[in-house]
Amino acid sequence: MAFPQTRMRRLRSSAGLRGLVRETDLRAGALVLPMFVAEELSGAGDAGREPIATMPGVQRLSLQEAVAEAAVAAELGLAAVMLFGIPAEKDEQGSGAWDEEGVVQLATRAIKQARPELLVITDVCLCEYTDHGHCGVLRGDGAVDNDATVSLLARTAVSHARAGADMVAPSDMMDGRVGAIREELDGEGFADTPILAYSAKFASAFYGPFRDAAGSTPSFGDRRAYQMDPANGREAEREALLDLQEGADMVMVKPALAYGDLISAVKRATLLPVAAYNVSGEYAMVKAAAAAGYLDERAAVLEILTSLRRAGADTIVSYHAKDAARWLAEQS
Ligand code: PBG
């Protein structure tokens, strides 16, 4: 039956009816807040908090402020915080990444001690720790050495687990890293620590503000020899299936906004819980447009996050997480 018997507007005519048939919900418990924890701050900004010019509302945090921020995340009912470390010193290998007293390891311990119920997910990658800014160690010809990098990533993941991380999230895009991390975790007594694999991570312009925040822009070249080509969707499914085979517990699609088709595709292909990373550039666009008065920030953010859930994301990593949790609490 079509019009006039069928009228789609009938079920849209009141808030009650719209609520009754709403297909997707957004809740704080599905949101993860990324945090930048710095070993050393320049002294600009408030004590322990250094503003990031390209990400209004987000700061580099001292250890103490990271604990305070995690407490806010917990109070707001967010699922987890995801930690990115900014070491005081970088080197060729990125050795700060697996330092037992490294910034992420210290922050993980401090947060877990203060807020044992809040999940701590750690980013496992070398790019914030290498002096050249690439996500792994370099060969003589300047290319990233996959297999040498994989063992360093596994070592890093174990050091995070030892510090108390509830989940480790490799974001480097080396081949075979999920399997290597699983094996190393199991061998070191962390068989119960899950892996959230950044399976389909694209070489994206939308990471710009993050690299600013973490000082991780490659000093030469780009990341296209390890991160994925934005033109490829079938390859994203393949990456996710390989990570599943290697033992990933969850898979991620990143960035999120221009990749909703792949959130759906990966969800169908794997049966694993899927996370979407609403990345720094996506955040910055909304913040800039809202600051200019071009759109309503609250409405835009809730629409964006809801659309990622609709695409199939079980979990959303977003710099908007705290604001979204506050807005959701006001609505209910
Ligand atoms: C590290 C990493 C990056 C992001 C998350 N983990 C940067 C990159 O790959 O250059 C980007 C996150 C964001 O833009 O919010 N490999």
98 assigned to some structural domain: yes
- Identify the segments of the chain with pLDDT beneath 50: none
Q: What CA–CA distances, in Å, run from 214 to 122, 189, 207? A: 15, 31, 11
Nearest CA to ligand 1 atom 11: 207
pLDDT the model gives residue 154: 98
pLDDT the model gives residue 108: 98
Q: Which atom of ligand 1 is nearest to the CA of 283?
A: 15
Domain that holds residue 178: 26-331
17 assigned to some structural domain: no
Q: Is 254 a catalytic residue?
A: yes
pLDDT the model gives residue 248: 98
10 assigned to some structural domain: no
Is the minimum distance from the CB of 135 to ligand 1 under 6 angstroms? yes
Return the best residue to mutate from 52, 90, 127, 224 for the ligand 1 pocket (most ligand atoms within 8 A of CB): 127
How many domains is the chain built from? Answer: 1
7 assigned to some structural domain: no
64 assigned to some structural domain: yes
285 assigned to some structural domain: yes
Q: How many residues does the chain have?
A: 332
Is the minimum distance from the CB of 125 to ligand 1 under 6 angstroms? yes
pLDDT the model gives residue 138: 96
Do the beta carbons of residue 52 and residue 36 sit within 8 Å? yes
pLDDT digits (tens, 9 = 90+) for 165-186: 999 999 999 999 999 999 999 9
pLDDT the model gives residue 331: 86
pLDDT the model gives residue 216: 87
pLDDT the model gives residue 46: 79
- Residue 107: which CATH number? 3.20.20.70
297 assigned to some structural domain: yes
305 assigned to some structural domain: yes
Q: Is 287 a catalytic residue?
A: no
